[in-house]
């Protein structure tokens, strides 16, 4: 029995109802556009880096790079919150509860707008102090501060964009976010050339380009939601907070947001550990991150697809289909991620030399990929399993498992084991060890845990409020 009131709904041309049909085809239909979104976001970052490096100079590039972890933290928080809101919306879509789907959309967008404005205002005011607390080198502050203020000012647009993307994906429309992000990549490239290469505004110009791009993308996302052919259409006059739905969204989204933030912090500690091995190791680490970026994009896309699939089918109470989708997604993961990982292991050395012809850097890059690439599938299993569980609205316990496996154990390894055995190989072992451990924890919880019972209880509580 589906929770909430079942009503008729319009068939949005871009939406995808995955509560029936061939499972593997639907997972791929969800996955491919999500992968393309990640691809264009990565292209966006690479374009910024290339143009700044070529026309802005070392200080401009360094100023922007010094803020990367800060904004990764902020964006990761907003993406996690959006994913949680999308789970609730996806459940309403799957149960054909149009009234509460509409209220969920307006509640989520209001959350994004209010929180985004708070972050933007606070960022513009306090960014110099935050950068100082991060021990940003004094010679980079002149470039880092103006770039950061432009980026911070546009964080409200970033939250609106990420929330809108997540909501569209919750109803199966993964194509529109990909197209909007692709257009943003093109806009950003043109603006970077104008502001940095032509006008010589260096890091500030890059910040202006990023802010304008985010503003345009947020406007396009808002217009797309306002023109949606279904209950998920956005009406600006109906923006507001439904207290019961908001509580459910925050209960699902905040654990994801906190998890993403803590994961970013653990990556900062990893980078600090890599720094102790010298310049060649740091360069090799950065290059290995570029080489395996496509694998991480596919992993993330499969996980998000599984969340959308599970959310819709949980809303429709298709529990058997949820399990079938999870098993199908695992098979796709092993085949796709396994094949990509094997290819990277085989070709890492020539790929490294293609980017930089330095024997020491190539050696580090090769060792790094050989140590961690064979285990990418384990982390992809974590993404798939957590996606299957989170699609039901149960996100607190998956957050705790992820923090325990990939954050706490990682930090303990880096701070206790690596100093006692200070080799690059010991440092790299942190990945296979924590990924395998976390995969075991998630598979065990999915099989023996009572996550579905917890999710049903939350859904029943939300349904008890009726339609206001």
Instruction: Answer yes or no: do 218 and 293 share one domain.
Output: no
235 and 282 part of one domain: no
Residue 438 lies in a domain: yes
Instruction: Indicate whether 337 and 444 sit together in one domain.
Output: yes
The verdict on 229 and 127 lying in the same domain is: yes
- Determine, yes or no, domain membership for 271: no
Last residue of a domain, one of 241, 265, 300: 241
Q: Say which DSSP state 292 is in.
A: T
Same domain, 96 and 236: yes
Q: CA of 250: how far to CAs of 1, 82, 398, 408, in Å? A: 25, 10, 15, 24
The structure tokens listed for 443 are 């598979």
Assess whether 57 and 154 both reside in one domain.
yes
Q: 456 to each of 60, 327, 394, 439, 461, how far by Cα in Å?
A: 52, 21, 9, 24, 9
304, 209: one domain: no
Whether 234 and 329 map to the same domain: the answer is no
Domain limits for position 354: 277-463
Residue 453 within a domain: yes
Is residue 314 located within the same domain as residue 412? yes
User: Does 305 share its domain with 232?
Assistant: no
In a domain, 3, yes or no: no
The pTM of the full predicted model, rounded to 2 decimals, is 0.76
Indicate whether 202 belongs to any domain.
Answer: yes
Dihedral angle, C-alpha 377, 378, 381, 387, nearest 10 °: -110
Tokens of 15: 């939406």
CA atoms within 13 A on the CB side of 440: 8
Number of domains comprising the chain: 2
Per-residue pLDDT of the chain (468 residues; tens, 9 = 90+): 333 443 334 444 467 788 888 999 989 888 888 888 778 777 777 777 777 767 777 677 667 766 776 777 788 888 888 888 888 898 888 888 889 899 999 999 999 999 999 999 998 999 888 888 766 677 778 888 899 899 999 999 999 999 999 899 888 888 898 899 889 888 988 998 999 888 888 888 888 999 999 999 999 999 999 998 888 899 999 999 998 889 888 888 888 788 877 877 777 777 677 777 776 777 777 678 778 878 888 888 888 889 889 888 988 888 899 999 999 999 999 899 999 999 999 998 888 887 667 788 788 889 989 989 999 999 899 989 988 898 887 878 888 888 888 888 888 888 888 888 888 888 889 899 999 999 999 999 988 888 888 778 777 766 655 433
Structural domain includes residue 405: yes
Domain boundary residue among 182, 214, 241? 241
In a domain, 398, yes or no: yes
Q: Which tokens is 55 given?
A: 């026309």
* Token reading at 172: 């199966």
Rounded Cα–Cα distance for residues 272 and 357 (Å):
25
Flag whether 2 is in a domain. no
- Same domain (yes/no): 194, 289: no
Kindly state whether residues 233 and 295 are assigned to the same domain.
no
Please report the sign of the dihedral spanned by the C-alpha atoms of residue 73, residue 75, residue 81, residue 84: negative
Tell the residue number behind the tokens 């100079």, with chain if given. Answer: 57
């Amino acid at each position: 029995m589906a929770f909430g009131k079942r009503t008729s709904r319009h068939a949005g041309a871009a939406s995808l109802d995955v509560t029936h049909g061939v499972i593997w085809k639907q997972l791929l239909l969800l996955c491919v556009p999500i992968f393309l979104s990640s691809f264009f976001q990565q292209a966006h970052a690479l374009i910024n880096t290339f143009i700044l490096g070529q026309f802005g100079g070392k200080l401009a590039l360094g100023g922007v790079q010094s803020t990367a972890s800060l904004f990764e933290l902020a964006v990761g928080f907003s993406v996690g919150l959006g994913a949680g809101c999308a789970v609730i919306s996806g459940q309403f879509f799957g149960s054909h509860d149009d009234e509460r789907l509409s209220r969920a959309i307006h509640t989520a967008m209001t959350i994004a707008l209010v929180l985004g404005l708070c972050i933007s205002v606070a960022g513009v005011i306090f960014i110099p102090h935050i950068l100082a607390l991060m021990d940003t080198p004094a010679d980079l502050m002149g470039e880092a501060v103006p770039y950061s203020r432009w980026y911070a000012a546009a964080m409200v647009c970033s939250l609106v964009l990420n929330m809108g993307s997540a909501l569209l994906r919750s109803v199966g429309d993964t194509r529109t976010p990909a197209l909007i992000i692709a257009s943003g990549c093109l806009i950003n490239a043109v603006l970077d050339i104008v502001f940095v290469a032509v006008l010589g505004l260096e890091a500030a110009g890059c910040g202006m380009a990023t802010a304008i791009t985010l503003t345009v993308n947020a406007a396009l996302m808002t217009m797309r939601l306002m023109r949606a052919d279904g209950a998920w259409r956005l009406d600006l006059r109906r923006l507001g907070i439904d207290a019961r739905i908001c509580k459910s969204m925050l209960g699902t989204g905040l654990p994801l947001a906190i998890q993403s933030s803590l994961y970013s912090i653990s990556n900062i500690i990893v980078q600090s550990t890599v720094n102790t091995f010298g310049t060649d190791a740091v360069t090799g680490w950065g290059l290995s991150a570029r080489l395996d970026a496509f694998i991480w994009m596919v992993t993330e896309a499969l996980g998000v697809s599984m969340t959308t699939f599970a959310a819709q089918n949980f809303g429709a109470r298709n529990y058997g289909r949820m399990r079938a989708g999870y098993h199908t997604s695992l098979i796709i993961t092993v085949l796709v991620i396994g094949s990509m990982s094997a290819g990277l292991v085989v070709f890492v050395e020539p790929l490294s030399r293609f980017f930089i012809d330095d024997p020491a850097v190539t050696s580090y890059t090769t060792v790094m990929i050989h140590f961690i690439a064979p285990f990418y599938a384990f982390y992809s299993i974590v993404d798939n399993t957590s996606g299957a569980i989170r699609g039901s609205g149960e996100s607190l316990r998956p957050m705790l498992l992820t923090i325990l496996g990939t954050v706490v154990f990682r930090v303990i390894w880096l701070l206790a084991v690596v100093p006692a055995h200070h080799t690059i190989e010991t440092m790299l072992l942190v990945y296979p060890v924590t990924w395998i451990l976390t995969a075991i924890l998630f598979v065990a919880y999915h099989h023996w845990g009572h996550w579905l019972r917890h999710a049903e209880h939350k859904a029943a509580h939300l349904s008890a409020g009726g339609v206001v």
